[in-house]
Structure 1
Amino acid sequence: MTNTKQLKITKLFRKGAAAKLPEDCDEVQEEIQQLEQKLKEKQDELFQLQRNSYRHKVSPPKKKPDTFIRPQKIVLNNSVENLRRSLELISMLSGTEVQSYVANDHCCIVFHLQHDSEFVVKHGLRIDMKSGVNEVSKSSLPLGFNLNAVMEDFDNVMMPDCLGAIRKALVAYYDRLDQYEALKKLVNIEATLFKIIDGSHIEVSFTAHSDMEPEDEQITVVLMLDYRVYDIRPKTITFKEMDLPEGAAEALKEQCTVFKRKPLRKAFKEAFITGIGPYKLTQQIGPRPKSPVRRPKRARAPRQQYNNDDTFRPEDCSEHSDDNASDN
Structure 2
Amino acid sequence: MPHLKKQLKITKLFRKGATNKHPEGCDELQEEVQKLEQKLQEKQNELFQIQRNNCRKKASFPKSKETPFVKPQKIVLTSSVETLKRNLELMSMLTGVEVQSYVADDHCCVVFHMQHEASSIVKHGLRIDMHSDGNEISKSTMPLGFNLKAVVEEFDKITRPRCLGAIRRALVAYYDRLQQYEALKELVRTEADLFKLLDGSHIEISFSAQSHEEEEDEHIQVTLMLDYRVYDIRPKTYCFKENELPEGVSEVLRQQCSVFKKKPLRKAFKEAFMNDVGPYRLVRQFGLRREEQQQKRPKRFRPNKNNYNNDDTFLPEDCTDQSDAEHYSE
With the length of structure 1 as denominator, give the TM-score of the two structures: 0.67
| 1:66–1:146 Cα change, 3 Å | same
Aligned to 1:278: 279
Query: Is 1:223 the equivalent of 2:228?
Result: no
Structure 2 CA distance for aligned equivalents of residues 156 and 131 of structure 1: 10
1:162 aligns with 2:163: yes
What is the aligned partner in structure 2 of residue 185 from structure 1? 186
CA distance in 1, matches of 2:181, 2:295: 26
Q: Unaligned regions of 5+ residues in structure 2, if any?
A: 1-50, 300-305, 307-330
Where do 1:71-86 residues align within 5 Å?
71-86=72-87
Structure 1 vs Structure 2 CA RMSD: 3.2
Give 1:141's aligned residue. Answer: 142
Q: In 1, distance between residues paired with 2:105 and 2:95?
A: 25
Question: One-letter code of the match for 2:264?
Answer: P
- Residues in 2 aligned to 1:165 and 1:112: alpha-carbon distance in whole angstroms: 14
Q: 1:168 and 1:52 mapped to 2: Cα distance?
A: 76
Match of 2:296 in 1: 291
Amino acid at match of 2:112: F
Is 1:110–2:111 an aligned residue pair? yes
Using the alignment, how far apart are the partners of 1:67 and 1:136 within structure 2?
54
Q: Matched residue pairs, number?
A: 246
Please state how far the C-alpha of 1:203 moved relative to its aligned partner: 0.7
Secondary structure of the corresponding residue to residue 131 of structure 2: coil
Q: Residues of 2 paired with 1:218 and 1:110: CA distance? A: 50
Give the corresponding residue for 2:243: 242
Uncovered stretches (5+) of structure 1, i.e. residues with no partner: 1-40, 54-60, 295-300, 302-328
Kept in 1, the 8 Å contact 2:133–2:157? The answer is: no
TM-score, with normalisation over the residues of structure 2? 0.66
**For residues 72 and 216 of structure 1, do their structure 2 counterparts lie closer, same or farther at Cα, with a shift above 3 Å needed?**
same
Separation (CA, whole Å) in 1 of partners of 2:295 and 2:76: 63
Q: Is the 8 A contact 1:207 1:218 kept in 2?
A: yes
Match of 2:28 in 1: none
Q: Which amino acid aligns with 1:260?
A: K
How far did residue 175 of structure 1 move?
0.4
Offset, 1:213: 2.8
C-alpha displacement of 1:70: 5.5
**C-alpha contact (below 8 Å) 1:209/1:215 kept by paired residues:** no
What is the aligned partner in structure 2 of residue 26 from structure 1? Answer: none
Partners of 2:282 and 2:163 in 1: CA distance? 43
The Cα shift of 1:259 comes to 0.1
Question: How much has 1:214 moved relative to structure 2?
Answer: 2.9
> Does structure 2 retain, via aligned residues, the 8 Å contact 1:206–1:281?
yes
Query: Residue 121 of structure 1: CA displacement?
Result: 1.2
Separation in 2, partners of 1:131, 1:254: 50
- CA distance in 2: counterparts of 1:124 and 1:74, whole angstroms: 34
User: Where in structure 2 are the equivalents of 1:209-220 lying within 5 Å?
Assistant: 209-215=210-216, 217-220=218-221
- Whether contact under 8 Å (2:208, 2:219) holds in the other structure is yes
Question: Matches of 1:291 and 1:172 in 2, distance apart?
Answer: 40
State the alpha-carbon separation in 1 of the partners of residues 210 and 186 from structure 2: 22
**Could you tell me which residue of structure 2 aligns to residue 57 of structure 1?**
none
Sequence identity percentage: 62
Q: CA deviation at 1:290?
A: 3.5
**Runs of 4+ with deviation above 6 angstroms:** 65-69
Aligned counterparts of 1:87 and 1:137: Cα–Cα separation in 2: 25
Q: Contact (CA 8 Å) 1:269, 1:275: kept in 2 or not? A: no
Is it true that 1:207 corresponds to 2:212 in the alignment? no
Structure-2 change in CA distance of 1:90 and 1:200 (3 Å): same
Quick one: structure 1 residues 131 and 162, their matched pair in 2 at CA, closer, same or farther if it must change by over 3 Å? closer
